[in-house]
């Protein structure tokens, strides 16, 4: 890696001289030293992609992509959710990448997207896998240029990214209001968070009409309010309280619960209805003072324009499946034209979390980023990555890495024991 980097810099300096750049005689040795440390040219033409490999964990729902080059430099990216069974899709994209310069990130993204116009490139698995590929290209480019990804994206507005903790109380079959309050206090006292998220959709609720009826019963509405009221009472008025309903209710239920919880001052009510019908969000957002958020299952800027045109209050794209880091930044900048906050959804590993953080620092309208409690409770997530810059999160903030690329590497050997059987692993 170091030898490749030294060769990379040497060729850049030689190329600079060939183009007639002013020598160090004119500007002194300080200028030459600065040029040595930060080459002003793009990569030499012989830096090429040689291979693309991938591995999966979490029963195949989390994809890791690794892009290799002829200079020993590689880049890593991650895709989530819509990635099960996509090994051959990764291979197909990989064949298109071989021989190309990794620095043309936007061109490669657009070539693959346009090339799949009739193959599903509008959403779903195609875009989720493309998101992992695109992220790996940014990581690779940053390592080759000795720059962090946020610098490649135009620089940063802030050094740290504020996160909210998804308390994952959904693992309890049917939590009581006391369970909600305890989980909130534990997240604050144990890990220092000042923003929390809870889920309200519970299939095991005895007051539920049936599993197919999207209308919440009066008993369910009471249960939802009591759970959230217990949290607000336990943590006080200054903690951000985010609420997710996973798109599992109808419009009348969304109207009812959004109005009922107005006195609890929620940070947002997330997808009380599915995100597919963008028009439905318009009336919902107009009828309540509770902010309405959506977007974790919306793809590319095209989808978010429709959400924004219909009055959603907060957008939350998942950068590990909406199109990647460049597309995530474009979505955030689009939302900024509507004066809408950008609060990305994040259910990836720490590699994905840090990649997302690089985008969050580059846009003015960043609000909050999702953080998972499994980072603190499941040892797998510490094992599968390499990171040597201290605490992952402190006082509800993630500090963006200043290392070249994303700043987080993957540990293939540790990851191997969590890989699903029967699926090729980085082969």
CB 15 within 8 A of CB 388: no
Structure token pair of residue 30: 């300080």
CB 63 within 8 A of CB 80: yes
pLDDT at 14 (0 to 100): 43
Spatial distance between the Cα atoms of 356 and 346, rounded to a whole number of angstroms: 8
Whether the model pTM is above 0.75: yes
Structure token pair of residue 53: 């490999």
Other Cβ atoms within 10 Å of 280 Cβ, number: 17
Residues paired with 163 in a beta bridge? 369
**What does DSSP assign to residue 418?**
T
The class (CATH top level) of 160-403 is: alpha beta
Distances (CA, A) of 233 to 165, 178, 228, 306: 18, 11, 9, 37
- Please give the average pLDDT of every successive group of 10 residues along the chain, which has 427 residues: 46 44 42 48 71 97 97 97 97 97 96 95 96 98 96 98 92 88 96 97 93 95 98 98 97 97 98 93 94 97 95 97 98 98 98 98 98 97 97 98 98 96 95
Written as one string, the DSSP assignment of 64-80 is EEEEEETTS-EEEEEEE
pLDDT at 44 (0 to 100): 55
Q: How far apart are the first and last CA of the chain?
A: 21
Structure token pair of residue 186: 């534990």
CB 401 within 8 A of CB 389: yes
pLDDT at 307 (0 to 100): 95
CB 47 within 8 A of CB 70: yes
Angle ∠(24,25,27) on CA atoms, nearest 5: 60
Written as one string, the DSSP assignment of 154-183 is T--S-SEEEEEEE--GGGSSS--HHHHHHH
Structure token pair of residue 272: 């009380």
- Placement of tokens 């997530």 in the chain: 381
Pairing of strands 74-80, 62-69: antiparallel
Give me the residue spans of the domains in the chain.
2-37, 49-146, 160-403
Interacting residues of 20 by C-beta distance below 8 A, sequence separation 6+: none
Spatial distance between the Cα atoms of 222 and 219, rounded to a whole number of angstroms: 5
**CATH code that applies to domain 49-146:** 3.30.390.10
Beta-strand runs (E) in 173-329: 195-199, 240-244, 268-270, 292-294, 314-315
Spatial distance between the Cα atoms of 420 and 371, rounded to a whole number of angstroms: 25
């Amino acid at each position: 890696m170091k030898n490749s980097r030294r060769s990379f810099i040497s060729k850049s300096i030689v190329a600079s001289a060939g183009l007639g750049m002013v020598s160090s005689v004119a500007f002194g040795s300080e200028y030459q030293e600065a040029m040595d440390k930060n080459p002003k040219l793009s990569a030499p033409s012989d830096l090429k992609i040689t291979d693309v490999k991938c591995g999966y964990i979490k029963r195949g729902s989390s994809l890791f992509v690794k892009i290799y080059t002829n200079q020993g430099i590689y880049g890593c990216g991650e895709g989530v959710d819509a990635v099960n069974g996509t090994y051959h899709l990764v291979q197909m994209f990989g064949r298109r990448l071989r021989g190309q310069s990794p620095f043309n990130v936007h061109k490669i993204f657009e070539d693959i997207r346009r090339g799949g116009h009739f193959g599903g490139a509008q959403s779903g698995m195609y875009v989720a896998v493309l998101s992992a590929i695109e992220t790996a290209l940014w990581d690779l480019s940053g390592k080759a240029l000795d720059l962090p990804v946020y610098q490649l994206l135009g620089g940063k507005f802030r050094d740290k990214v504020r996160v909210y903790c998804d308390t994952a109380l959904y693992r309890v079959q049917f939590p009581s209001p006391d369970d909600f309050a305890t989980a909130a206090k534990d997240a604050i006292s144990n890990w220092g968070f000042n923003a929390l998220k809870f889920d309200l959709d519970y299939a095991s609720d005895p007051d539920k009409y049936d599993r197919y009826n999207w209308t919440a019963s009066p008993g369910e509405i009471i249960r939802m309010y009591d759970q959230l009221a217990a949290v607000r009472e336990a943590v006080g008025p200054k903690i951000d309280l985010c609420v997710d309903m996973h798109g599992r209710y109808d419009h009348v239920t969304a109207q009812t619960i959004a109005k009922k919880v107005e006195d609890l001052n929620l940070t947002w009510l997330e997808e009380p209805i599915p995100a597919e019908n963008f028009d439905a969000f318009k009336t919902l957002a107009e009828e309540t003072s509770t902010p309405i958020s959506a977007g974790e299952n919306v793809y590319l800027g095209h989808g978010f324009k429709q959400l924004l045109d219909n009055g959603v209050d907060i957008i939350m794209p998942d950068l590990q499946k909406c199109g990647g880091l460049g597309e995530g930044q474009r979505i955030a900048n689009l939302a900024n034209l509507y004066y809408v906050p950008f609060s990305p959804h994040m259910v990836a590993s720490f590699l994905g979390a840090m990649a997302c953080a690089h985008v969050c620092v580059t846009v003015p309208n960043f609000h909050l980023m999702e953080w998972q409690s499994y980072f603190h409770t499941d040892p797998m997530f510490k094992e599968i990555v390499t990171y040597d810059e201290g605490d992952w999160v402190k006082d509800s903030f993630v500090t963006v890495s200043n290392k070249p690329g994303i700043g987080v590497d993957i540990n293939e050997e540790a990851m191997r024991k969590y890989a699903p059987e029967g699926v090729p692993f980085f082969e």
